Amino acid sequence: MSAEIEYKGIRVGGSKILLIIPLLGTILGGAYGCFEVYTQFKAMEKKIAAYKPVNISHLEKQMLTLEAQGATTTALVEEQIGGFRTTVSTLQDLIYDLKITSKEDLSRLQGYLDKQDVRNRDNVDLVRTLITDWESRIDGKLSRQDDARVTLDKDLREVIRKVLQNPLAAKVN
């Protein structure tokens, strides 16, 4: 016994029914999917038709303003960099001139110190000569004083000896 369905003179057996039911489900599911896609398409079409673009003109104005400010800032920075370069160049020149002047001053100072050193040595030699001469004079004077003292001492002894030998000398006192 097989299951059969008859409809308006068409007979369909059980095995064919098993093929027709999934086929009908697929066709109906596809039709439903197409309907849903069509419905969403129509809704999207309405939204697209109702879409009004956002006014971005104020953003464009701000961008132009920012670009102008950026250009002004760039020009100012370039001007300042140019000023810094000029200042650095001037400082380099001044440092170079200062270096040269310092070397010249140092050279002059070294010459002056060398001359002063020679004068100091000459002065030391002069002072030594003066001291030696002074010592020689003092030694001469001391020697003459010693000679005079010795002579005076001799003379005094001689006088004393003569006085002591003189018999009249005893009566004088």
- First-to-last C-alpha distance (Å) of the chain: 207
State how many domains the chain has.
Answer: 1
Q: What is the domain extent for residue 44?
A: 1-51
CA dihedral 14, 20, 21, 24 (to 10 degrees): -160
**Is the distance from CB of 3 to CB of 12 less than 8 angstroms?**
no
Give the span between the Cα atoms of 131 and 141, in whole angstroms.
Answer: 15
14 domain residue, yes or no: yes
Beta strands in the chain (DSSP E): 4-7, 10-13
pTM: 0.36
90 domain residue, yes or no: no
22 domain residue, yes or no: yes
29 domain residue, yes or no: yes
pLDDT in tens, 54-95: 787 888 888 888 888 988 999 899 999 999 999 999 999 999
Residue with the larger pLDDT of the pair 172 and 45: 45
145 domain residue, yes or no: no
161 domain residue, yes or no: no
pLDDT in tens, 102-130: 888 888 889 899 999 999 999 999 999 99
40 domain residue, yes or no: yes
Give the span between the Cα atoms of 119 and 44, in whole angstroms.
Answer: 111
77 domain residue, yes or no: no
